[in-house]
Structure 1
Amino acid sequence: MGTESGGEQQPEESSLPDFSAQSSDGLPDFDSSQGPVTLGAPCDRALRRSRTTMLAVIGSAVVVLAVVALVLSQTVFRSVLADPDPTAYQTGERSAKGQSEYVPDPQDPDIAPPPPIFTQAPTTECTVPLNADSPPAEPGKVRGGGLEYTNPPGWGDGWVVSSLPYLTEVGADSRQVEGGWFSVLNLGRVSFPEDEGGYPGLEPAAVAIFQCYATTSGVLSHFGEHPEVTDYRSEVMSVDGTAAWIVQATYHFEDPSVLESSSASVVTSIVVETPNGPSALTGDVAADQPEHAQNLEDIIASLAVVE
């Protein structure tokens, strides 16, 4: 350190602020001088401003909804309420022109019940005339009245006919189904007594013979009182070039356990205008035995007029 010289007084050093106590790097320490700030409650003026803004928004929404409702009431709603019977949905005029009336098919048992002719009780007296012998037939053939058919394979078991309603000169044959149950087809000359009005014509005669056979030949005892009837028909046909009428239906046994191998029979009646008076085929064949059912078709196809 120096010493005083010449007795002169040394000038005083100027005073500078001492920042060392405040910060080690020479900057003010704001962190220590200020604490956390707490916001106070909004003032009344701010509250009034927020409330006014909210009311304005709600009011605007109400106005918009009112305008939309007014527009709808003057357009859509008004047209619906003012016109309870709108013409826009009217259909065209109804007319039967170009259309055909629907008639249930009597051949289809699923949509129509059997016609009245397929009843359990016959609509005639079922008179049995005195039976005259049938003319002799050639081997392998069956003859009755003015008709003849050819026996298919499996037939030839024979069948003795004592009487049949409205038939005489009867010939028949059969094929065994099981036990004492046979498929049987008969031929004979048609004979209606005069006190019943005589021969009624092709269709009525075929219906009467069909009904009587189904109810008097022992078939009813197997069919039951209320059998199901299917595949029925009553229509004109031709036999060997001669006018004829066929009535046919399948009868299903009410008790299917009556027989082991069959539970249904096809009952058939065909009347043919043979030269010496009408003749007929009638009988029943096991419907659910394929060979027997085919035999029936083959026999009908082989029918011949033999006067």
Structure 2
Amino acid sequence: MSRSGDQQRSKDSGLPDFSSGGPANDGDLPSFGDEAQAVTLGEPSERAVRRTRVTMLAVIGGAVVVLAVIALVLSQTVFRSVLEDPPPTAYQTGPRSAEGQSEYVPDPEDPDIAPPPPIFTQAPTTECTVPGNTAPQQPSAPDRVRGGGLEYTNPEGWGDGWSARALPYLTEIGAESRLVEGFWYSVVNLGRVSFPEEEGGFPGLEPAAVAIFQCYATTSGVIETFGENPDVTDYRSEATTVDGTAAWIVQATYHFEDSAQLETSSASVVTSIVVDTPEGPSALASDVAADQPDHAQNLEDIIASLDVVE
């Protein structure tokens, strides 16, 4: 077909003519070959900003809620089981050896566990010289016992007519007693203190009281009943006064090692008191049944009734 014929048909049909390469008419399609134009975006609207903010807050709030729920679950399960579980049980280990450990040494200041001081030994630290018995210079009243420069009141139950005998470092002896059982008596002696010049004479209230205590416990027949290794308790050695006069007391309770000889008593309280009486020192020396309440009380009453009679 000829070219002109095609153009004619195109006009007749009203369609645009694409056969020519010239510019399009007003009704033609746009050309995309032209240079593209740049587009600039505007600022987000207030509504969009609010929507974004709400979304973020919702996400954060949801996360907080989730964490709170997780913490609550853990506190009711894992943490509670840990807190409520009992502590681990310690099981006994194997035998232990003392090898390499230091030896325990009792505290000498603790009277509950420390051994008695050296003065409460069975071996006296002096010669225990016996000067010989001499009767008191003045007789005692019916209810009183006198020896040296001291006198005491006899408690009820005492007055068995104890015969005073020679005792270490005592003269002018007066004494009384109360029966415990069989051959055993509670005895309280009084006398004038006499230390020979060969031993240095009177050593003072405290050393004299210690010497008389030790000698009385070992030479007056007491030790034979106490046994070789009696327990010693309630010991003391301290300054005191008698009837307003300076004195020193040494006292201890001896628990018998073997009390097979006695049925009602197994302990004795031994006492020595040296008093600075005007005519020279005088002393009390005694042993009284410690586990007989009446006898123990009698000793306290005797000591309380001591008078200086010079």
Shorter-chain TM band: 0.5 to 0.7
Q: CA deviation at 1:156?
A: 0.6
Counterpart of 1:165 (choices 150, 168, 173) is 168
Which residue matches 1:142?
A: 145
Which residue matches 2:278?
A: 275
Q: Alpha-carbon deviations, 1:45-87, whole Å to 9, x = none?
A: xxxxxxxxxxxxxxxxxxxxxxxxxxxxxxxxxxxxxxxxxxx
Q: CA deviation at 1:256?
A: 2.7
Q: AA paired with 1:121?
A: A
The two structures, once aligned, show a CA RMSD in angstroms of 1.3
Counterpart of 2:126 (choices 124, 127, 142) is 124
Q: AA paired with 1:137?
A: S
Q: Does 1:188 align with 2:191?
A: yes
**Partners in 1 of 2:140 and 2:126 — Cα distance?**
31
**Partners in 1 of 2:241 and 2:300 — Cα distance?**
14
Structure 1 stretches of 4+ moved >6 Å: none
Q: What TM-score, normalized by structure 2, do the two folds share? A: 0.64
Which residue matches 1:112?
A: 114
**Partners in 2 of 1:282 and 1:298 — Cα distance?**
15
Q: CA deviation at 1:132?
A: 1.8
**Partners in 2 of 1:119 and 1:277 — Cα distance?**
28
Which residue matches 2:248?
A: 245
**Which blocks of at least 5 consecutive residues in structure 2 are unaligned?**
1-106
Q: CA deviation at 1:105?
A: 4.2
Q: AA paired with 1:112?
A: A
Counterpart of 2:265 (choices 251, 262, 266) is 262
Residue 125 of structure 2 aligns to a residue whose secondary structure is coil
Q: What TM-score, normalized by structure 1, do the two folds share? A: 0.65
Count of residues paired in the alignment: 204
Which is further off, 124-133 or 191-200? Answer: 124-133
Q: AA paired with 2:293?
A: P
Q: CA deviation at 1:104?
A: 4.9
Q: AA paired with 2:148?
A: G
Which residue matches 2:302?
A: 299
Q: CA deviation at 1:143?
A: 0.1
**Which blocks of at least 5 consecutive residues in structure 1 are unaligned?**
1-102
Which residue matches 1:87?
A: none
- Conserved 8 A contact 2:249-2:274: yes
Residue 117 of structure 1 aligns to a residue whose secondary structure is helix
**Partners in 2 of 1:235 and 1:129 — Cα distance?**
26
